[in-house]
Structure 1
């Protein structure tokens, strides 16, 4: 039986170890995809072992390289890391299953390259999840950007390359201009980059300086997509749908909000955050992002574009939860990592299924589609409810705690923003499945009415994620326990 430290090492290394096998099996699709599935299932089993050890009171650390005093590549198991790793490793299984149906049905080129860079991305995510310090997190945060670039430009078209340039320019640019200087300044001020409950700064550190530092961090973590550094996310929608799912649910955006939570709770500390001059200003910027992104989403006829702007809005929920500087707000942000991941990946899976089976990508063409794709459109309805935050879906609980945290922090304006955002979510999401099932007599259904769903592997993946949206409403306790321990 492996010890927790060995399991931690395997969790970080295993996705990368699958890459040579994927390359060797490049001419044998069944074997290649079997390797990807086996690696993802094994990774989830290993993360589950870490979860059980952690909840039993265990701990695990691993130091790879000590470069200088206070600068080392090292990993440690904590509550938020376990939560993020559980979500990402589980969704790697589901996304691989979905991709088998989608990539084959859509006759995508360079499928081996897709699976290889997907594995590199998941390896980066595992390293981010269990980073023991900001230095380690930054290294693998940047590795994730580089690993996902070939996925964004997978199609190889001029449009894909243009989207990839925007993706890379904004994410690398914000890291170099804001994130890296913030890390260097943190090390210079505190002498430590280690994630520490209560934060790393001395009590007499200038609040003016710390306020400026917080601005650098929030803008520097570009993957959290706060406005005006959000355009990379809609630009990346040129990628195949499994990649969009990776970006929006499994890896990239969650790595962004994960980093924001780690910085807020374990570099600054909630008590320090509450006293900074920039906290409220950034909170208002989050509120602005939530509303404006929702309004832009309403104007998008392309389904993936609408979902992309929806993600921009939802990410600022999680950033705002941290900036509330209350334990309840932090709880809501941490829970929303899982709730949003499952809801949004369901919606993107459905968008891809519609493209493969019905060859439609614009919402205006989907009226009456429920008769042809009843399973997919019902799953889209469930995913929509979770993103909105309505029973009986898991998104209800994370939004509940975000609103409660806003009330505790006397941020009535943010409560209003969150409620208004829910109404806007209803306005741009629910009409899609409702019109699919009830087109109305004035809008006759175009094309054949016979049922024609996406390939079976894709449908199984859609069924799993939509079912999880429902189960997390009924059984949220374990997620709540992990999220409650974040920052402690």
Structure 2
């Protein structure tokens, strides 16, 4: 089979993956609540097929260097383009794997809950939008799916229907629509000046000419694009929606932080810097240093705010604010090692953070433990969940041999290679702050006994049955398998990705390949 024939066949894979997720949503919405087996089969079948299809693209794109493309007319002179390139496969692979894990987790978590068909329908639409973002071949296609993601995640944030959930969903919508409008203006403005903007290694055609002729306009457009994307990426001061969204169910929190929304924002920033403006144009315009400083401020701010939170999910939310900006920092360093570090953290942070949210959901679901104090002694009552949480926390701190260590080591190398070696101090300070807000949680899990007269979720008020409750608090409880297995799998992956980082086709290996293409 010739390369052209193979490329033609593979060009149908992105729309097929897109239709797979969309078809799952359309099949799930009309299902009655009691059609549990059918809904589960559709969810898992679509998720497994997506993993297989995306995995099949990896060797073709990396080894054979093929770039299959599918396009349909959209606007005069502008097509909707789905293109397979190393970065698109990288992000699609992350979303495919974590979608499967989150689907298994969500099925167990929502067992017996109302409105499951609505939840899983919008869940699949969310994945549809993420697939479109992953494979978008130009800026307009990216914008269409990026805005779709805003609309279909709103019902997930509001799923519980409580006043707090509805309020958080409205805040989320205000932030993301405002960011979407800024992105829209930037995309339209850039298209007027440079024509249809296709993503390309080293930057899109027409952008260098714009930067040379009217650098002020190019800088303003860059600010609009990154500012619009920075809302979902939770860059300071655009992060305010994220902690409030933690009222959503644990599978939604995992989706927001590790699979879709936050990742879509930071993935878009990588696209703008590397594949729209390009490193050289970005450097000549002087926009990389301010972006680097903003990323550093966000990293430190998120860590400090996480340290102040006593609610577990909110502490994890501020941790996300901090950790996701490592990706922006790596790209803004403008070195091969830094870019590789930022891109690999896209995957590593997603797997580490989804592990922590899976565990937080387990603690809350089984023992109503939601605050940091509620976790006292749960290492003995829920040992496997606590092991998974501990592994995820050590990864976030950056302890070897976890995936987090690999990311931070690579970013450190990038800082030393760059014009900004002071960034190494930011990485060190961030790791110390990570330890300051994660180690006390781990310590409470394993080395603190539950308070007598206080059960998780009880708010610390003693009552008449204090003695029997104190005894009960030391007994091991059943950890639901459907919720536990995804958490153990992702926790195991955190260690495996650290131990086998140098292997072919590992996230680090592919990230280096992508980074080398950016600077080629």
TM-score range for the pair, normalised by the shorter chain length: over 0.9
* Cross-structure match for 2:487: 462
RCO higher in 1 or 2 (8 Å CA, sep ≥ 6)? 1
**Residue by residue, what CA displacement relative to the aligned partner does 1:52-79 show, whole Å, maximum 9, x if unpaired?**
321231331000224222x211110011
Q: Does 2:52 correspond to 1:45?
A: yes
Q: Separation in 2 of the partners of 1:421 and 1:205? A: 40
* Cross-structure match for 1:277: 286
Structure 1 residue 443 displacement after superposition:
8.1
Q: Does 2:196 correspond to 1:181?
A: no
Q: Does 2:340 correspond to 1:331?
A: yes
**Do 1:335 and 1:480's aligned partners in 2 also have CA atoms closer than 8 Å?**
yes
Moved more, 225-234 or 6-15: 6-15
CA 1:117 to 1:258, structure 2 compared with 1: closer, same or farther past 3 Å?
Answer: same
> Matches of residues 204-215 of structure 1 in structure 2 within 5 Å?
204-215=212-223
Larger Rg computed on CA atoms: 2
* Cross-structure match for 1:162: 167
Q: Separation in 2 of the partners of 1:297 and 1:161? A: 24
**Residue by residue, what CA displacement relative to the aligned partner does 1:65-114 show, whole Å, maximum 9, x if unpaired?**
24222x2111100111101111111111111111122111xx43211111
Q: Separation in 2 of the partners of 1:24 and 1:151? A: 17
Moved more, 181-190 or 158-167: 181-190
Correspondence for 1:450 among 475, 482, 485: 475
Aligned residue pairs total 484
Correspondence for 2:106 among 90, 99, 102: 99
**Residue by residue, what CA displacement relative to the aligned partner does 1:313-370 show, whole Å, maximum 9, x if unpaired?**
1121111211112222211111011100000000000000000111110111211111
**Do 1:384 and 1:429's aligned partners in 2 also have CA atoms closer than 8 Å?**
yes
Q: Does 2:83 correspond to 1:55?
A: no
Structure 1 residue 20 displacement after superposition:
3.0
> Matches of residues 398-437 of structure 1 in structure 2 within 5 Å?
398-437=407-446
Moved more, 133-142 or 445-454: 445-454
Q: Separation in 1 of the partners of 2:150 and 2:122? A: 11
Q: Separation in 2 of the partners of 1:409 and 1:214? A: 22
Q: Does 2:514 correspond to 1:486?
A: yes
Q: Separation in 1 of the partners of 2:180 and 2:383? A: 43
* Cross-structure match for 2:28: 22
CA 1:385 to 1:205, structure 2 compared with 1: closer, same or farther past 3 Å?
Answer: farther
The unaligned stretches of length 5 or more in structure 2 are 1-5, 455-469
Q: Separation in 2 of the partners of 1:30 and 1:409? A: 54
Determine helix, strand or coil for the equivalent of 1:74. strand
**Do 2:208 and 2:277's aligned partners in 1 also have CA atoms closer than 8 Å?**
no
Correspondence for 2:177 among 159, 172, 177: 172
Determine helix, strand or coil for the equivalent of 2:370. coil
Structure 1 residue 158 displacement after superposition:
0.8
Structure 1 residue 444 displacement after superposition:
9.4
Correspondence for 1:87 among 71, 87, 94: 94
Q: TM-score, normalised by structure 1?
A: 0.95
CA 1:404 to 1:206, structure 2 compared with 1: closer, same or farther past 3 Å?
Answer: farther
**Do 1:215 and 1:282's aligned partners in 2 also have CA atoms closer than 8 Å?**
no
Q: Separation in 1 of the partners of 2:405 and 2:213? A: 39
* Cross-structure match for 1:354: 363
**Residue by residue, what CA displacement relative to the aligned partner does 1:204-238 show, whole Å, maximum 9, x if unpaired?**
24433333322222211021111111011112111
Determine helix, strand or coil for the equivalent of 1:412. coil
CA 1:182 to 1:30, structure 2 compared with 1: closer, same or farther past 3 Å?
Answer: same
* Cross-structure match for 2:395: 386
**Residue by residue, what CA displacement relative to the aligned partner does 1:4-47 show, whole Å, maximum 9, x if unpaired?**
11222211211011123223543311221121011100111111
Q: Separation in 2 of the partners of 1:66 and 1:151? A: 29
Q: Does 2:118 correspond to 1:113?
A: yes
> Matches of residues 123-138 of structure 1 in structure 2 within 5 Å?
123-138=128-143
**Residue by residue, what CA displacement relative to the aligned partner does 1:378-415 show, whole Å, maximum 9, x if unpaired?**
11010011112211111111211212112211213321
CA 1:296 to 1:7, structure 2 compared with 1: closer, same or farther past 3 Å?
Answer: same
Q: TM-score, normalised by structure 2?
A: 0.90
